[in-house]
Amino acid sequence: MDKHSSKKSKDINRTTQNQYTADQIVVLEGLEPVRKRPAMYIGSTSILGVHHCITEIIDNSVDEALAGFAKNIWIIIRKDNSVTVIDDGRGIPLDVIPKYKASALEIVMTKLHAGGKFDSRSYKVSGGLHGVGASVVNALSQWMRVEVVRDGKTYYQEYEKGSPKTSVEQVKKETNKPGSLPSAFLPKISSGTRSSFFLDKEIFKEGITCQFDIVRKQVKERAYLVSSLYFHMYDERDDREEHFYFEGGIASLVEAYNRNKQTLHPPIFICKKDDLVEIQAAIQYNDGFSENVESFVNVINTIEGGSHLTGFRMALTRSINDYAKKIGAVKNGEESIIGEDTREGLTAVVYVKMPSQNLQFEGQTKTKLGNTEIQPLTQSIVNEALDVYFEEHPQDARKIIEKAFLASKARLAAKAAKDAIIRKGALEGASLPGKLADCQSRDPSESEIYIVEGDSAGGSAKQGRDRKFQAILPLRGKILNTERARLDRILEFTEIKDLVIALGMGIAESLNPEKLRYHRIIIMTDADVDGEHIRTLLLTFLYRHLPYVIQKGHLYIAQPPLFKIQSGKEIKYAYSESEKVLILKSMQNLKAVPSIQRYKGLGEMNPEQLWETTMNPQNRLLKHVTIEDATYANEVFSMLMGDEVLPRKRFIQTHAKSANLDL
């Protein structure tokens, strides 16, 4: 090709690229958009997305209960990790929709934005919003089978990655097809829906193995919220089963959250409804320092809050201030109690029921309520109810006000202490701790900091590290138990102060996550009882005061080897007892008897060994710290690190046999 032809060809290609024509428009049909961009519909394709899919199908059955039809819901986790959800409601309609020339069942399962929740005659209150829940799960499943029992007959349809494999057919007899395998846990129902699905491993690359305890929490929440509804959970993988039925509502849920804490008063229950909206709230203070507030809309846990939670908090602050002024606890000119003060030791649940067709959530994952009209309504109802309660229960009101005043004084003291301890820009990194061996990189995404127990291990870590991206902060001894301390006392503790300064993002109201200096924070302690205790104290501080590093996946725990096994010049490291056994078996044919050294402290390793076994990214093992269930984590920290001895004693007695101690 000559130069002229080549230039002409390039000009044609450039012209073609610059043109935007109808030929370049791609239309994704049916459920293709879901498989193309699954995270848009379920939030994540991690294990969180797996649990979200299960919840979507459960909530379809819960909606039947909210509509007044279903009385029981069964959830069965099969041995192959498929899931079956059954209800005894009306059953999905089967008649043909003329417009589509297909069964209503097929339309509901294969079309986005199709369902009964857009029509208030079918579902006045429901967890579903966009009508995409069942169809999205179908699209993301390798196979799915839905059986509908109506008028004494059972019908079914099967799907593969969202597409129908069969027409809607009547079940004549039991088959061995996926999803229809017999189970000892399958109930006989006279009407209702059975949905079985096996999620697609091509979509959920981290695995589809759901965790029973996470599904259990979601189910238990719904049992509290929907009174007189029985939940039956079975796990065929380990023959586990649990059943839930509550009549106490969200007041019982609040009591459950405060089970291991010293409470100041009985739960305050608020409920008011009109033709369209029902607002419920339950409030109970404990003598702790942390806040635990959950919010729900139509049994959906709005983990990011929204207008209902904002209205509740505004009402709580106003009612406490108004009553404090009324009884003379706050005089004119004095500083009022602010919202932050009313949240210390607060346990509460805010629950809104409203027509599903009026709901405005942020995204299909339904994590934040967006209806602006709900904020003033919630604020007015809670404000009025609390004013009445405080008048009728003055002793409880005074306890709550005293709690808020103590929090206010502690807040002001903590602010003064923080300003005195780490002023002059120390939090921004202007004056890093002297014992911190910082890394050369200033890019947080490639930088990591090892929080190391003891000066000896800290010295080895400093010598063995890669200075380009690894920083070392040695800690001397055990830090303060921050579960039992206020911020002013916490910041007086040198080791914690140094850690806060080293991380660089501040604390409390000065917290700025964008200034975090390391995106991998690695706790490295000895493999003994003291090391475990120090690790627990660090986890408690980070969970209570810097939860961002856990929520965003920045926290890790180093896994140093337990054994050094040497035969001649050959050296191998074992990170567990089982690995030690395997290594010793592999050395059986050697003439020399292997020597085994049990590492009890990081300081027993020289810098080269510490680098090779625990700090080298090519070889090391790191345990990633995450929070799957924040409420459960809150209960565990309160139980293990709080003031109440009896719950901790019961926990130790229950789990004593599973402990592996090397004293």
Say yes or no: 182 and 310 in one domain: no
Among the candidates 396, 418, 440, a domain finishes at 418
- Does residue 634 fall inside a structural domain? yes
| pLDDT value, residue 125 | 54
Say yes or no: 164 and 194 in one domain: yes
Say yes or no: 111 and 126 in one domain: yes
- Pairing between β-strand 448-453 and β-strand 520-524 as defined by DSSP bridges: parallel
| pLDDT value, residue 595 | 87
Number of H helices, E strands in the chain: 21, 24
Count of residues in the chain: 663
Tokens describing residue 201 = 């491993």
- Does residue 618 fall inside a structural domain? no
What is the DSSP-derived secondary structure letter of residue 614? I
Under a CB-based contact definition with an 8 Å cutoff, are residues 32 and 193 in contact?
no
* Stretch among 8-12, 73-77, 366-370 having the lowest mean pLDDT: 8-12
| CATH code for the domain in which residue 265 is found | 3.30.230.10
- Does residue 538 fall inside a structural domain? yes
Tokens describing residue 109 = 């399962």
Say yes or no: 323 and 285 in one domain: yes
Q: Burial, 392: exposed, middle or buried (Cβ in 10 Å; 0-12, 13-18, 19+)? A: exposed
Q: What is the tens place of the pLDDT at every residue in 168-198?
A: 999 876 554 545 545 667 788 889 999 999 9
Say yes or no: 187 and 215 in one domain: yes
Range of the domain at 147: 32-244
- Pairing between β-strand 448-453 and β-strand 470-475 as defined by DSSP bridges: parallel
| CATH code for the domain in which residue 470 is found | 3.40.50.670
Q: What is the tens place of the pLDDT at every residue in 459-469?
A: 999 999 999 99
| pLDDT value, residue 30 | 66
State what percent of residues in the chain have pLDDT above 70: 83
Q: What is the tens place of the pLDDT at every residue in 527-578?
A: 788 888 899 889 989 988 898 999 899 999 999 998 989 888 888 888 888 8
Say yes or no: 239 and 253 in one domain: no
Say yes or no: 227 and 170 in one domain: yes
Angle between helices 212-225 and 47-66 (to 10 degrees): 30
Under a CB-based contact definition with an 8 Å cutoff, are residues 425 and 501 in contact?
no
Say yes or no: 232 and 268 in one domain: no
Say yes or no: 240 and 253 in one domain: no
What is the DSSP-derived secondary structure letter of residue 525? -
pLDDT band at 40 (very low <50, low <70, confident <90, very high): confident
Among the candidates 384, 418, 452, a domain finishes at 418
Angle between helices 630-641 and 529-545 (to 10 degrees): 130
* Average of per-residue pLDDT across 429-440: 80
- Does residue 609 fall inside a structural domain? no
| CATH code for the domain in which residue 135 is found | 3.30.565.10
Residues marked active site are found at 453, 526, 528, 530
Other Cβ atoms within 10 Å of 233 Cβ, number: 20
Tokens describing residue 295 = 């919010």
The helix, strand and coil proportions of the chain, stated in percent and rounded to the nearest 5, come to 40, 20, 40
| C-alpha to C-alpha distance for 592 and 594, rounded to whole angstroms | 6
- Does residue 164 fall inside a structural domain? yes
pTM of the model: 0.64
Say yes or no: 409 and 518 in one domain: no
- Does residue 572 fall inside a structural domain? no
Among the candidates 211, 244, 277, a domain finishes at 244
* Average of per-residue pLDDT across 42-64: 90
The residue among 342, 341, 346 whose CA lies nearest residue 261 is: 346
- Does residue 386 fall inside a structural domain? yes
- Does residue 589 fall inside a structural domain? no
Can you give the C-alpha Rg of the chain in angstroms?
29
Averaged pLDDT score across all residues of the chain: 83
Say yes or no: 48 and 100 in one domain: yes
Q: What is the tens place of the pLDDT at every residue in 305-350?
A: 999 999 999 999 999 999 999 998 877 666 778 998 999 999 999 9
Tokens describing residue 357 = 């067709």
Domains held by the chain: number: 3
Other Cβ atoms within 10 Å of 638 Cβ, number: 23
Say yes or no: 429 and 452 in one domain: yes
- Pairing between β-strand 72-77 and β-strand 83-87 as defined by DSSP bridges: antiparallel
Per-residue pLDDT at 29 exceeds 70 = no
| pLDDT value, residue 124 | 53
* Stretch among 127-131, 438-442, 546-550 having the lowest mean pLDDT: 127-131
